Amino acid sequence: MGNAYNTLAVYPEKCNGCGECEKACAKVKANSTDVVHSRIKVLKSLEDGFFGPVVCMQCGEPNCVKSCPAGALSKNPETGVVEWNEDKCVSCTICTLGCPYAGIYYNPLMSTVVKCDHCGGDPECVKVCEPKALEYRPEASVYNDQGDLEDLFAPGLAACLGCNMEILVRHVLRHVGPDTVLAAPPGCLPGVCAVGFNGFTGSKVPSFHPLLTNTASMLAGLRRYYKRKGRDVTALALAGDGGAADVGFQSLSGAAERGEEILFVCIDNEGYMNTGMQRSSTTPYGSWTSTTPVGPSLPGKANDSKYMPLVMLMHDVEYVGTAVTAYIDDFHRKVEKAYQASKRGFAYLHVFSPCTTGWRYPGDKTMEVQRQAVATNIFPLWEYEKATGKLAFTHPVDNPASLENYLSMLGKFRHLSKEQIEHLKNTAAMRVNILKAMSEQGLAGYQNLKVAV
């Protein structure tokens, strides 16, 4: 498989024209305060308030490379960066003819062409971009690491259009590999493929269909059995929030407390979406479900969701992480840690997984819903490792995005009153405060915390 490359992503709509990127670039590339030396340029139009950073896009098929008569430009096959070799360059500037937005251009002060080189993989402009109009996106490494591994699900699953689960289960299974036994309790997953149809499974590893109630205990037995036989088989559960937080909780809690060597993934779509969208204990406050209807007397769910990740952490397990597929690099990092931890004890990964059908939003917005849930602190991303005793945010959000925006994307929240929204904000803030205290002061922080909400 070919190489995929990290990118310097530009989000022009976030650019405020502050020009810090230009200053940082000029400083690091020419040790100068003159932004003429900057390889990134902020286009500004005061007339219509337009701002947008332009910078070399490190094209897949760079015209500048093709038009260089001196062999001074080349695309690095490892990093994807289009590199300029000063020793070879004759300053003919023919390269500039090919680039439609001056990603490579002539710098009159240097008397050479200049272009962005990603600062060797750690771009300075990104570090100083306050509004986050520039981001260095490392997702490509996922493709490079995972691309050659076998996809352990059959091609084509019978999930709803836009379902998050397909990407989720394919990535998890491919990551943990074929030496796995998979438990898929009742929920969407067994139906769409994991245990399959007519006697055939859709997964390419042994999989079974426990009851909602006994997933963790069955897996515990299997893992112990394999171990006794001298085989290191990964015991993997892909369970819904019902199979983890509600009906399945007794066996899950027991296995976690005993330190069974299991990798338990909870696919949290905040309800029983498979059987007609009934509430579960992870359904958020105020949410519409078929059992928490919205009408003149009832305003949706009356209780807060159970915050499972912290509940599981309190079981003193090896690893707890929260993840979304929308941040797939972070997702894989956590799957890896959970996988390693599951060889020593219990590992729990809680994945926030929007449901286009049950939450009522367009199927093409699944990634956006996840990003917004993270940006609003509705679903903070963090992990806890028993080995270090540390809880750490992996995508800290200091200034949460507008919760109203997030809620308005989802049909199940569209009826909320101001007071209900306020309630949700407080709940989210309280959870983040607890997590912050724990991350800053260790687990003791939780006990010392005066929850100020």
Enumerate binding residues for another protein (CB under 8 A): 12, 41, 43-45, 50, 52, 54, 63, 66-67, 69-71, 87-88, 90-94, 96-102, 104-106, 108, 111
Beta carbon of residue 152, minimum distance to ligand FAD (angstroms, whole number): 48
Identity of the residue, 102 or 302, whose beta carbon is nearer to another protein in the bound complex? 102
Hey, which residues between 150 and 179 contact ligand FAD (CB under 6 A)?
none
Beta carbon of residue 366, minimum distance to another protein (angstroms, whole number): 23
C-alpha span between 91 and 74 (Å, rounded): 15
Residue 196 zone, left/alpha/beta (φ > 0; ψ -120 to 50; rest):
left
Beta carbon of residue 273, minimum distance to another protein (angstroms, whole number): 36
Which of another protein, ligand FAD, none has residue 90 at its interface (CB below 5 to 8 Å by kind)? another protein
Burial 325-363 (b: 16+ CB within 10 A, else e): bbbbbbbbbbbebbbebbeebbbbbbbbbbbbbbbebee
Hey, which residues between 49 and 78 contact ligand FAD (CB under 6 A)?
none
> Does 89 engage in binding with ligand FAD (CB under 6 A)?
no
Which of ligand FAD, another protein, none has residue 99 at its interface (CB below 5 to 8 Å by kind)? another protein
CB 165 within 8 A of CB 267: yes
Identity of the residue, 70 or 222, whose beta carbon is nearer to another protein in the bound complex? 70
Beta carbon of residue 70, minimum distance to ligand FAD (angstroms, whole number): 11
CB 233 within 8 A of CB 209: no
Please measure the distance between the N-terminal and C-terminal CA atoms of the chain and give it in whole angstroms: 51
Q: How many CB atoms lie within 10 A of CB 153?
A: 20
Identity of the residue, 68 or 212, whose beta carbon is nearer to ligand FAD in the bound complex? 68
| Residue 228 CB partners (closer than 8 Å, separation 6+) | none
Which of ligand FAD, another protein, none has residue 91 at its interface (CB below 5 to 8 Å by kind)? another protein
Rule CB under 6 A: choose which of 70, 89, 94, 128 binds ligand FAD. 94
Question: Which amino acid is residue 442, in one-letter code?
Answer: G
Which of ligand FAD, another protein, none has residue 88 at its interface (CB below 5 to 8 Å by kind)? another protein
Which of another protein, ligand FAD, none has residue 41 at its interface (CB below 5 to 8 Å by kind)? another protein
C-alpha span between 196 and 164 (Å, rounded): 18
What is the DSSP secondary structure assignment for residue 278, as one 8-state letter?
Answer: B
Beta carbon of residue 51, minimum distance to another protein (angstroms, whole number): 10
Hey, which residues between 15 and 34 contact ligand FAD (CB under 6 A)?
none
Q: Is 392 helix (H, G, I), strand (E, B) or coil?
A: strand
Beta carbon of residue 375, minimum distance to another protein (angstroms, whole number): 23
Beta strands in 199-308 (DSSP E): 207-208, 234-240, 263-268
> Contact residues for ligand FAD (CB under 6 A)?
92, 94
